[in-house]
Each structure stands twice: as structure tokens, then as C-alpha cells.
């Protein structure tokens, strides 16, 4: 758990409450959800019931009226138990809800935020087959038609897609304009010409759905443009900058969970007549793991505090995401090693956490993209 000085009493209470919920409600389902590659529907209802899907949504919009930092603490706590559930909550709060809070008109906020707080899962649809790190090389078109736009194209690797009712979807109104043609649209699951396609069969975070989206002339009226036409790149960039802190928190929580399992196990596992925790080599491994986790925590919390204070946070967010994701892979691998042979089996949770960790270095900006962002900031000073 984090040093007491990093959190206020209210923040400590909030995070401990979320962690207790995760251990009681999510832990018994984690294995079965991983095997089924699906989120338990009753668990999703519970996430809405206790307010974790609308943390920053104002109370007058049926949300919790919390802060960005609360979302980060919730994601970290959930990821200690199941990173799949953590990313469902993360996408909802740091990407979808935040985009509506920052860019939505009063009418859009009044229409969509209560739904997102009360039961509608949101999804953030940017990536395409040729548009990953090169995020704005979009091929999905939005063509003017009958007082609105007709959207045609295909999105890939879209988180929360299997459960989502609302999709914040990016398309270009002018391919020749490059990023200045990108526009953010609100698409609903029931829209004619829209469907959720194939679900990916993934290495890790399997309970978190990742699907393709297929759009065949989906009509969207101007009232469902988030921000302005041609300004979708600003919506995407600013939202993803915040989302990186959420992924860093997810990886931080994952590493803490793997470490906690390993710490308990080395006290129980005996070799050569004594617990392996008494061997200096094991103690040194634990010390290294704990140090890396605390370093990541400081980076993640600082980035979140800067964002909340309205201070520049881009470099810190990239540093937090880079370090926390790379660290989580190392710590989860060390945890498997400390378990020995049984760590490679599905009888213990570290095997799952090891698989879950790898995505952290890839999604919402690969490690190399984070390095590029950090370097640009340093050289631009």
C-alpha cells in the first residue's frame, strides 16, 4: 500500500473501500472471467451501483462528483485484483466521461452523462488497421448527407466494445486535411448500419472486451459531434494524455498485486528446511520489486496531481506510463519466478497477472511513443 503521506484520509478511505470491494466481489470471478474471456454481467451492474463508472460525473448528472485523482486510485485498487476490470473502469472514466465533461455541450452532458453514470458503458473508438501509433491516419469517413454525416469504415482493437451502448468514435470529414479533418462523433449501439464485429482472443486482460466496429453509412446528426467538426484531434490528444495516467495506474496496481502474492508465498514456501524468504537472494528480489513499485507510484500520483491542479502534465504522464508499464512486466515476471514451477500454472494468480501486464507497454501509446513524447519535451525546453 502507498505511504500514508501520499494520500489524504478521504483518499485512503476511498481506495481501501474499492480494494475491499475488489477482493470480495471480483477476486472470486477473476479466473472464470479470464477463461470465458467475458466480463460477468452482474459484476458490471455492481460497478455502476457503487458509482465506479461515473466517478467524476457531477452529482447533478447522477455521478459521484469526485476528482480525477479518485479515478486513478480506483483503477489502481481494482488492478491489484483484476486488471481486466480496472481497464473497463479506466476507459469509462478517464477517456469517455472525461471527453464529455471537457468537450460536451450542456445538451450533450445532460443527455449522455446520466446514462454513463447509471448503466451505459462507454467505448473510445480511435484505432484502425493502419492507424495505431499513427493515430490520425484514419480511413473511416464521415461524408455530409441530409443535414448530418454518414459514417463508413472499420475500427479495430476497441476496448469495452462488447458491452458498450455509447461509442466516442473518430472519423475524418476530409482525408486531404490530415489531422484537421478528424472529428469526434457519438455513435449509439442501435444506430442503423452500425455493428460490433469480431471479438479479439487475447493473451491477457481477457475479460475486458476488445472488438472491431463496422460502420456502413451510419447517419449521425450534427448534435452528436463532440467538440467541433475538424477538431477531433484535439479531443483525442487531450483525452489520451489523461488516459495514459489511468493505464499507468492500472499497471501500478497490477504490480502491487503480483508483489503481494509473491510476498505471502515466499513466507510459506520451504526449501532446504526453511522458508525461502530467509534466503538473501529472495530478499534482494523483493527489495528490488518494492522499490520499483514505489518509484512508479510516485510518478503516477504526481502526474495525476498535476493534471488535477491544471498544471502541465504531458511529460509526467508519459514518464508514468512508460515506467509503470515496463515495471509491471518485470515485477509480474519476478513474481512468477518466486513461485517456482507452480507460478507457471493457472492454480495461482501470478500467471494471469504476468499475461495481463504485457498490454501495458502497447495500448494507449507504446513505450517508444512515450519515449518520443518525453524526448520532445526535454529538447523543447
Catalytic residue of the set 56, 163, 351, 364: 364
| Whether 326 contacts 367, CB under 8 Å | yes
Burial (CB count <10 Å: 0-12, 13-18, 19+), residue 192: exposed
- The residue written with cell numbers 528480489 in the block is 285
Sign of CA dihedral 81, 86, 89, 93: positive
Instruction: Name, in order, each residue with C-beta under 8 angstroms of 136's C-beta and a sequence gap of 6 or more.
Output: 178, 179, 182, 233, 236
Q: What angle do CA 164, 195, 225 make, to 5 degrees?
A: 65
Give helix 27-36 / helix 350-357 axis angle, nearest 10°.
Answer: 60
d(CA 250, CA 243): 11
Give yes or no: 9 in active site: no
Cell (9 digits) for 353: 497477472
Torsion of CA 98, 99, 105, 107, to 10 degrees: -70
Quote the cell numbers at residue 367. 513505450
Of the candidates 252, 322, 254, 249, the residue with the CA atom closest to the CA atom of residue 293:
252
Run of H or E residues at 338: helix 314-339
Q: What residues are labeled active site?
A: 364
Amino acid at each position: 500500500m502507498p505511504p500514508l503521506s501520499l494520500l489524504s484520509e478521504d483518499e485512503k478511505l476511498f481506495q481501501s473501500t474499492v480494494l475491499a470491494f475488489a477482493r470480495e466481489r471480483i477476486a472470486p470471478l477473476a479466473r472464470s472471467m479470464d477463461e470465458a474471456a467475458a466480463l460477468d454481467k452482474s459484476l458490471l451492474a455492481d460497478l455502476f451501483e457503487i458509482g465506479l463508472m461515473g466517478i467524476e460525473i457531477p452529482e447533478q448528472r447522477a455521478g459521484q462528483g469526485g476528482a480525477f485523482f479518485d479515478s486513478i486510485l480506483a483503477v489502481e485498487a481494482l488492478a491489484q485484483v483484476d486488471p481486466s476490470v480496472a481497464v473497463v473502469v479506466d476507459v469509462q472514466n478517464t477517456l469517455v466521461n472525461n471527453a464529455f465533461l471537457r468537450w460536451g455541450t450542456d445538451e450533450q452532458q445532460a443527455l449522455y452523462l446520466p446514462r454513463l453514470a447509471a448503466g451505459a458503458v462507454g467505448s473510445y473508438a480511435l484505432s484502425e488497421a493502419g492507424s495505431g501509433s499513427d493515430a490520425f491516419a484514419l480511413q473511416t469517413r464521415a461524408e455530409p448527407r441530409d443535414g448530418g454525416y454518414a459514417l463508413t469504415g472499420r475500427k479495430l482493437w476497441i476496448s469495452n466494445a462488447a458491452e458498450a451502448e455509447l461509442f466516442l468514435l473518430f472519423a475524418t470529414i476530409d482525408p486531404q486535411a490530415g489531422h484537421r479533418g478528424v472529428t469526434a462523433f457519438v455513435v449509439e449501439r442501435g444506430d442503423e448500419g452500425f455493428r460490433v464485429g469480431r471479438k479479439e482472443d487475447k493473451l491477457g486482460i481477457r475479460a475486458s472486451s476488445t472488438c472491431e466496429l463496422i460502420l456502413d453509412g451510419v447517419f449521425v446528426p450534427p448534435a452528436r459531434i463532440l467538440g467541433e467538426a475538424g477538431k477531433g484531434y484535439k479531443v483525442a490528444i487531450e483525452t489520451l494524455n489523461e488516459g495514459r495516467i489511468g493505464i499507468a495506474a492500472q499497471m501500478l496496481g497490477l504490480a502491487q498485486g503480483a508483489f503481494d502474492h509473491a510476498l505471502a508465498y515466499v513466507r510459506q514456501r520451504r526449501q532446504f528446511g526453511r522458508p525461502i524468504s530467509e534466503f538473501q537472494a529472495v530478499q534482494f528480489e523483493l527489495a528490488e520489486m518494492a522499490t520499483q513499485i514505489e518509484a512508479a507510484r510516485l510518478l503516477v500520483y504526481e502526474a495525476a496531481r498535476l493534471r488535477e491542479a491544471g498544471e502541465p502534465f504531458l511529460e509526467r504522464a508519459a514518464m508514468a506510463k512508460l515506467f509503470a508499464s515496463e515495471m509491471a512486466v518485470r515485477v509480474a515476471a519476478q513474481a512468477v519466478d518466486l513461485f517456482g514451477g507452480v507460478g507457471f500454472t493457472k492454480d495461482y494468480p501470478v500467471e494471469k497477472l504476468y499475461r495481463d501486464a504485457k498490454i501495458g507497454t502497447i495500448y494507449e501509446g507504446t513505450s517508444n511513443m512515450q519515449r518520443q513524447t518525453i524526448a520532445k519535451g526535454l529538447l523543447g525546453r
